[in-house]
């Protein structure tokens, strides 16, 4: 096992680590329950760009620092300064939405490791990930209805893709916080685990994904996105090309050799 390396973004409010093919992004603003500042949104996009360019990273895990929250939403303490003018609002929205889109379109698998509160923009980040594993104490919801805020097209689309229109309606209309078990029953999360076993469960899943052929996993992710978003311009021809590239890869040859030799394969993403 290699040593875990840590890099700081957003003046230390975003911690980025990598170890054994697994990238980790930690929202590090525990005094505000990991509320997202604009610098953190910018840092998230930069961190994802770094991981996308690194062929040794096979899967990325997102989590929150401290014991209270994954992400509790936007850091409203900076709104008076950052969103005081129409131009400021446009800039803020453009940068935060670009980071959210970068997460949603990230080509490698992503896992949200959720504990405590996961609210508003935090839930938006979680549903932008491919998989969501949460602790038993998780409370999840979108409370825009209690604040008089509009919830935009992209956020509603992602929520509906994950859980369907009737669940999206209940989440948005009620503005309530759902328990971990309620969220699982609604299809909002994949699995609920004890708090003290959360990191271990997520790490085990991430290692399992990282051990597989990365071109195959990335082709599967692209196909899932194409199926759920037929309007995105990625169709059968593009997915067929990705699948063909898997069969033409060195990793496919390595997988066959490893199977014949009854050993674990060593994939190189080539």
Q: Domain of 52: which CATH number? A: 3.90.226.10
Where does the pLDDT of residue 1 fall: very low under 50, low under 70, confident under 90, or very high at 90 and above? very low
pLDDT at 3: 53
User: Span 236-259, mean pLDDT?
Assistant: 87
User: What pTM did the predictor assign?
Assistant: 0.93
DSSP 8-state secondary structure symbol assigned to residue 223 = H
Q: Is pLDDT at 13 greater than 80 in this prediction?
A: yes
Instruction: Please indicate, yes or no, whether residues 218 and 200 belong to a single structural domain of this protein.
Output: no
pLDDT at 77: 81
Looking at the structure of the chain, the number of domains it has is 2
Task: Note whether residue 52 is domain-resident.
Answer: yes
Range of the domain at 181: 5-210
pLDDT at 7: 87
Instruction: Please indicate, yes or no, whether residues 87 and 188 belong to a single structural domain of this protein.
Output: yes
Cα–Cα distance between 224 and 221 in angstroms, integer? 5
pLDDT at 179: 97
Q: Is-contact 5 41, C-beta < 8 A?
A: no
Where does the pLDDT of residue 11 fall: very low under 50, low under 70, confident under 90, or very high at 90 and above? confident
Instruction: Please indicate, yes or no, whether residues 239 and 137 belong to a single structural domain of this protein.
Output: no
Cα–Cα distance between 45 and 36 in angstroms, integer? 13
Alpha helices in 75-133 (DSSP H): 79-82, 86-104, 121-128
Instruction: Please indicate, yes or no, whether residues 50 and 151 belong to a single structural domain of this protein.
Output: yes
Instruction: Please indicate, yes or no, whether residues 219 and 87 belong to a single structural domain of this protein.
Output: no
Could you tell me which residue, 196 or 229, shows the higher pLDDT?
196
DSSP 8-state secondary structure symbol assigned to residue 115 = -
User: Span 90-118, mean pLDDT?
Assistant: 94
CB-facing half-sphere around the CA of 184: CA atoms within 13 A: 14
- pLDDT tens profile 39-83: 999 999 999 999 999 999 999 999 999 999 999 988 888 877 877
Following CA atoms 203, 204, 210, 212 in sequence, which dihedral angle do they give, to the nearest 10 degrees?
-170
Task: Note whether residue 103 is domain-resident.
Answer: yes
Instruction: Please indicate, yes or no, whether residues 125 and 221 belong to a single structural domain of this protein.
Output: no
Where does the pLDDT of residue 227 fall: very low under 50, low under 70, confident under 90, or very high at 90 and above? confident
Instruction: Please indicate, yes or no, whether residues 91 and 74 belong to a single structural domain of this protein.
Output: yes
Where does the pLDDT of residue 4 fall: very low under 50, low under 70, confident under 90, or very high at 90 and above? low
pLDDT at 2: 54
Task: Note whether residue 29 is domain-resident.
Answer: yes
Task: Note whether residue 193 is domain-resident.
Answer: yes
Could you tell me which residue, 202 or 264, shows the higher pLDDT?
202
Cα–Cα distance between 21 and 267 in angstroms, integer? 11
Could you tell me which residue, 189 or 267, shows the higher pLDDT?
189
Cα–Cα distance between 48 and 35 in angstroms, integer? 19
Q: Is pLDDT at 85 greater than 70 in this prediction?
A: yes
Q: Which range has highest mean pLDDT (8-12, 93-97, 113-117, 255-259)?
A: 113-117
Cα–Cα distance between 103 and 50 in angstroms, integer? 12
Instruction: Please indicate, yes or no, whether residues 176 and 205 belong to a single structural domain of this protein.
Output: yes
Task: Note whether residue 64 is domain-resident.
Answer: yes
Task: Note whether residue 267 is domain-resident.
Answer: no
SS3 category, 178: strand
- pLDDT tens profile 129-167: 999 999 999 999 999 888 787 788 888 999 999 999 999
CA distances from 156 to 18, 38, 105 (A): 32, 22, 16
């Amino acid at each position: 096992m290699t040593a875990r390396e840590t890099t700081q973004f957003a003046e230390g409010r975003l911690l980025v680590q990598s170890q054994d093919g697994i990238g980790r992004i930690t929202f590090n603003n525990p005094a505000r329950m990991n509320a997202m500042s604009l610098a953190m949104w910018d840092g998230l996009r930069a961190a994802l760009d770094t991981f996308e360019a690194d062929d040794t990273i096979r899967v990325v895990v997102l989590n929150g620092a401290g014991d209270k929250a994954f992400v509790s939403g936007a850091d409203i303490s900076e709104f008076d300064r950052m969103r005081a003018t129409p131009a400021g609002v446009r800039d803020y929205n453009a940068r935060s939405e670009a980071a959210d889109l970068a997460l949603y379109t990230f080509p490698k698998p992503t896992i949200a490791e959720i504990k405590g509160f996961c609210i508003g923009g935090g839930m938006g980040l979680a549903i932008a990930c491919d998989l969501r594993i949460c602790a038993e104490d998780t409370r999840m919801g979108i409370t825009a209805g209690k604040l008089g805020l509009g919830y935009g097209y992209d956020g509603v689309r992602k929520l509906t893709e994950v859980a369907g229109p009737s669940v999206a309606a209940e989440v948005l209309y009620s503005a309530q916080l759902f328990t971990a078990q309620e969220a699982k029953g609604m299809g909002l999360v994949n699995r609920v685990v004890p708090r003290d076993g959360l990191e271990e469960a997520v790490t085990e899943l991430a290692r399992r994904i990282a051990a597989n052929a990365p071109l195959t996993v990335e082709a599967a992710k692209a196909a899932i996105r194409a199926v759920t978003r037929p309007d995105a311009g990625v169709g059968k021809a593009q997915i067929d090309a990705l699948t063909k590239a898997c069969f033409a890869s060195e990793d496919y040859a390595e997988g066959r050799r490893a199977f014949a030799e009854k050993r674990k394969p060593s994939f190189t993403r080539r």
